[in-house]
């Protein structure tokens, strides 16, 4: 009964953040609200695509009335045509996830603008006519799906006759572990299981049609690709429940109207891919092979590994895979075939997003590869709205379209060409939009500059980002009498990486802390993407140890070069970063304050609490029941008596990835040890917070916590 009262009180506190904010330090409140205002001035994009003939670009961007689709000629991108299903331009709704038909004259997109209550998304097709380059283009829009559930990732079949998409019929929540879990009730693991399948509609009917399922109800599909002849699908899928079993998914091929066949099974292969994860299936143009990204991945959607290839026939499904990028000191995340002997690979190298062309030579298992110089190498983040680091290619693969941003560049839609001089950086790209002109100067003035930093530790090359305090000029450092506090912001994952991207709004972000006068170090320690598979796997059975040593070495490197007060260093992070925050304060007293977001305090109890336990086996080598010692070794709760650092703990009450009991356990232990602490539980939030007020509240509380225990001045 007492526990119930505690939870209720905390939830009420979180839901009434505005009342709490009135008692927050006035300087903190003013800074946070100024940053929030600045964040609202920048416009984002949720998708971008180039037409197959390379002449047109379509993209969707956010505005005052929601998001909408725009189309323009590459030759004159400032003359735009709005493509919409809106019936009332004054109503706020959302449109995006654009995809082109093979004829470059039709465009499909998702819209909820025509649905009652603006909740149900459906697939719409726009037939384009006229001359867009001269500003005389027209679009005739028709709804082609009549869905009742969640719709995502639409793509045309290569023959242009059908549109496929991921579909959860009767969905009550977004698919995936990031979304808020359903309240627990009924027969757990059996009742109310929602399955994501591939469905299709006739692209030519131009009227609402009930989606036809192409994949069975016994398989939860995560990603898919059409075969070149439009007669088959390749997809990554696993048995339901989908949010848990992505980590043990197989690669399937299925003829339309036929039965699925496993063409690669990571759990049965005896090679290097044994027990690892697969993503981004892509057919070769001749239909004989399927490439995919394979590696140690801790989260669905956070893709990284090597590029692998298997026969699409299913021959040697357990042992016939070939690693095309072994030993590459980068992390491929996405690729597209250019022809049967080459593909373009989008990868993370150190702190950069690169696009390289990979050429294959040889046959069978004796394939060798070579790589071009980068088409671009950006200290930034790219994407077209589909998958991690995915970009949109013209059919001849001489032009690519994507959105890009960095800590210094707000997002815009860009064009990159393979013809002529290959370039480096944003200057090598052609901007197709000007949605955020002036934003960088106005908003960027609120926070400091960012530089890439690197250091070595135990034979590893470690990269990270250092955000300088607002107004700090590294060329005119003070005489050393004035020193600044620093916050270490650890990314989630662990298989992920902090990349340079625009963003100041919401939760825990470096730009906001920089604006408040802090140095902010965002390290990419061992276990991160960007340095190859060996580096990404270097924290196996070692959570919190080697990666923490990498981070501390980075702190030392920054202190040696910049005026950072070693007695005012704090730490924060979300998810795995929340775990690292909890674990770090049990291992060292170097941090004066800590904020743990959606963290993990006890790997042993966590194994039985979370909805995604399958991800832990590749990292720990066994289940907690078979090897409890390896889980205990990295559990912060077992070293709780060492903690002296004041720690704020925040979590969503419906988090399936890092359940709230993990935060309760840590907070309760700190309270018993008389360490300053506070726990805030946010109602109806999953692992990724969606309520803007809650995200803002986390930032406000974190800022106040750091200001209290390690003030900036």
Query: Tens digit of pLDDT for each residue in 78-122?
Result: 999 999 998 777 678 899 999 999 999 999 999 999 766 558 999
pLDDT at residue 505 is higher than 90: no
Q: Are strands 564-574 and 593-597 parallel, antiparallel or unpaired?
A: parallel
pLDDT at residue 34 is higher than 90: no
Question: Quick count: other Cβ atoms within 10 Å of Cβ 3?
Answer: 9
> What pLDDT sits at residue 84?
92
11 band by pLDDT with thresholds 50, 70 and 90: very low
- In DSSP terms, 100 is beta-bridged to 107
CB 453 within 8 A of CB 464: yes
CB 658 within 8 A of CB 687: yes
pLDDT at residue 22 is higher than 60: no
DSSP three-state, residue 609: helix
- Residues 556 and 548: their CA atoms lie apart, in Å, by 12
pLDDT at residue 575 is higher than 90: yes
* Location of structure tokens 């380059």: 133
- pTM summary value: 0.93
> What pLDDT sits at residue 8?
31
Longest dimension (CA), the chain: 74
CB 463 within 8 A of CB 379: no
- Residues 202 and 162: their CA atoms lie apart, in Å, by 5
- In DSSP terms, 32 is beta-bridged to none
- Residues 341 and 113: their CA atoms lie apart, in Å, by 43
What angle, rounded to 10 degrees, do the helices at 546-561 and 576-587 form?
80
DSSP three-state, residue 261: strand
Q: pLDDT higher for 480 or 288?
A: 288
Alpha-carbon Rg of the chain, whole angstroms? 25
pLDDT at residue 518 is higher than 80: yes
243 band by pLDDT with thresholds 50, 70 and 90: confident
- Residues 589 and 348: their CA atoms lie apart, in Å, by 33
- Residues 179 and 236: their CA atoms lie apart, in Å, by 20
- Residues 428 and 451: their CA atoms lie apart, in Å, by 20
pLDDT at residue 468 is higher than 90: yes
Which of 641, 494, 518, 636 shows the shortest CA–CA distance to 573? 494
704 band by pLDDT with thresholds 50, 70 and 90: very high
21-29: long-range pairs with CB below 8 Å, 24+: 21/697, 21/700, 24/700, 24/701, 24/704, 25/704, 25/707, 25/708, 27/707, 28/516, 28/700, 28/703, 28/704, 28/707, 29/700
Which of 353, 325, 394 shows the shortest CA–CA distance to 529? 353
Q: State pLDDT tens for residues 312-328.
A: 997 766 667 899 999 99
12 band by pLDDT with thresholds 50, 70 and 90: very low
- Residues 330 and 301: their CA atoms lie apart, in Å, by 18
Residue 7, Cβ density class (10 Å: 0-12 exposed, 13-18 middle, ≥19 buried): middle
pLDDT at residue 9 is higher than 50: no
> What pLDDT sits at residue 713?
62
517: which 2 tokens? 């006068």
> What pLDDT sits at residue 63?
73
* Alpha carbon distances (Å) from 633 to 430, 613, 620, 644: 51, 18, 11, 20
- Residues 459 and 265: their CA atoms lie apart, in Å, by 34
- Average pLDDT score over residue span 182-187: 83
% the chain with pLDDT above 70: 92
Q: State pLDDT tens for residues 404-459.
A: 999 989 999 999 999 755 566 788 899 999 998 888 877 767 889 999 999 999 99
Q: For domain 447-474+481-709, which architecture applies?
A: 3-Layer(aba) Sandwich (3.40)
> What pLDDT sits at residue 540?
96
Q: Encode 345-366: b = buried (16+ Cβ within 10 Å), e = exposed.
A: bbbbbbbbbbbbbbebeeeeee
- Average pLDDT score over residue span 52-65: 89
- Residues 43 and 410: their CA atoms lie apart, in Å, by 8
- Residues 54 and 57: their CA atoms lie apart, in Å, by 8
């Amino acid at each position: 009964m007492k526990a119930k009262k505690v939870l209720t009180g905390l939830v009420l506190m979180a839901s009434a953040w505005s009342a709490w904010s009135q008692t927050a330090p006035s300087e903190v409140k003013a800074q946070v609200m100024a940053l929030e205002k600045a964040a609202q001035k920048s416009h984002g994009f949720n998708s971008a695509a180039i037409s197959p003939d390379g002449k047109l670009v379509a993209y969707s961007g956010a505005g005052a009335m929601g998001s909408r689709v725009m189309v323009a000629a590459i030759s004159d991108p400032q003359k735009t045509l709005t493509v919409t299903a809106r019936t009332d331009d004054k109503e706020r709704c959302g449109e995006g996830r654009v995809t082109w038909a093979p004829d470059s004259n039709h465009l499909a997109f998702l819209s909820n603008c025509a649905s009652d209550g603006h909740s149900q998304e459906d697939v719409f097709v726009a037939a384009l006519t006229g001359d867009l380059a001269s500003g005389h283009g027209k679009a005739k829009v028709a709804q082609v799906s009549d869905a009742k559930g969640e719709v995502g990732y639409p793509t045309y079949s290569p023959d242009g006759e059908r549109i496929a998409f991921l579909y959860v019929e009767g969905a009550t929540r977004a698919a995936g572990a990031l979304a808020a879990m359903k309240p627990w009730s009924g027969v757990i693991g059996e009742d109310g299981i929602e399955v994501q399948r591939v469905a299709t509609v006739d692209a030519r009917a131009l009227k609402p049609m009930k989606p036809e399922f192409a994949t069975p109800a016994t398989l939860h599909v995560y990603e898919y690709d059409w075969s070149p002849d439009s007669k088959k699908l390749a997809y990554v899928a696993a048995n339901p429940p989908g949010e848990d079993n992505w980590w043990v998914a197989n690669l399937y091929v299925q003829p339309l109207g036929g039965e699925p066949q496993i063409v690669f099974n990571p759990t049965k292969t005896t090679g290097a891919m044994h027990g690892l994860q697969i993503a981004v299936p892509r057919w070769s143009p001749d239909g004989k092979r399927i490439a995919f990204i394979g590696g140690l991945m801790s989260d669905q959607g956070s893709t990284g590994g090597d590029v692998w290839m298997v026969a699409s026939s299913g021959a040697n499904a357990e042992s016939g895979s070939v690693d095309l990028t072994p030993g590459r000191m980068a992390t491929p995340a996405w690729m597209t075939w250019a022809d049967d002997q080459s593909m373009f690979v989008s990868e993370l190298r150190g702190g950069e997003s690169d696009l390289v062309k990979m050429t294959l030579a040889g046959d069978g298992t004796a394939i060798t590869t070579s790589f071009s110089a980068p088409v671009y190498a950006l200290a930034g983040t790219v994407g077209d709205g589909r998958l991690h680091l995915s970009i949109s290619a013209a059919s001849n693969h001489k032009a690519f379209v994507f959105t890009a941003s960095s800590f210094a560049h707000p997002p815009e839609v860009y064009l990159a060409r393979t013809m002529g001089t290959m370039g480096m950086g944003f200057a090598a790209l052609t901007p197709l939009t000007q949605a955020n002109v002036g934003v960088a100067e106005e908003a960027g003035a609120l926070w400091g500059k960012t530089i890439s930093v690197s250091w070595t530790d135990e034979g590893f090359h470690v990269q990270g980002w250092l955000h300088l305090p607002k107004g700090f000029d590294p060329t005119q450092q003070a005489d050393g009498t004035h020193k600044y506090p620093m916050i270490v912001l650890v990314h989630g994952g662990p298989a992920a990486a902090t990349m340079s991207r625009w963003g100041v709004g919401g939760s825990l972000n470096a730009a906001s802390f920089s604006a408040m006068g802090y140095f902010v170090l965002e390290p990419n320690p061992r276990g991160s993407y960007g340095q190859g598979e060996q580096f990404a796997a270097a924290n196996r059975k070692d959570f919190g140890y080697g990666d923490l040593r990498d981070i501390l070495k980075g702190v030392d490197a920054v202190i040696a070069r910049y005026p950072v007060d070693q007695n005012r260093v704090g730490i924060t992070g979300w998810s795995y970063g929340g775990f690292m925050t909890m674990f770090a304060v049990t291992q060292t007293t170097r941090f004066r304050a800590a904020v743990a977001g959606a963290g993990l305090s006890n790997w042993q109890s966590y194994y039985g609490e979370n909805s995604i336990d399958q991800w832990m086996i590749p990292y720990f080598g066994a289940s907690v029941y078979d090897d409890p010692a390896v889980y205990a070794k990295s559990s912060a709760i077992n070293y709780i008596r060492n903690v002296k650092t004041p720690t704020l703990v925040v979590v969503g009450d419906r988090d399936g990835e890092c359940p709230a009991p993990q935060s309760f356990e840590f907070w309760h232990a700190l309270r018993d040890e008389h360490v300053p602490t506070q726990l805030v539980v946010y109602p109806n939030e999953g692992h990724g917070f969606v309520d803007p007020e809650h995200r803002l509240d986390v930032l406000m509380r974190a800022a106040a916590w750091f200001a209290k225990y390690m003030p900036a001045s």
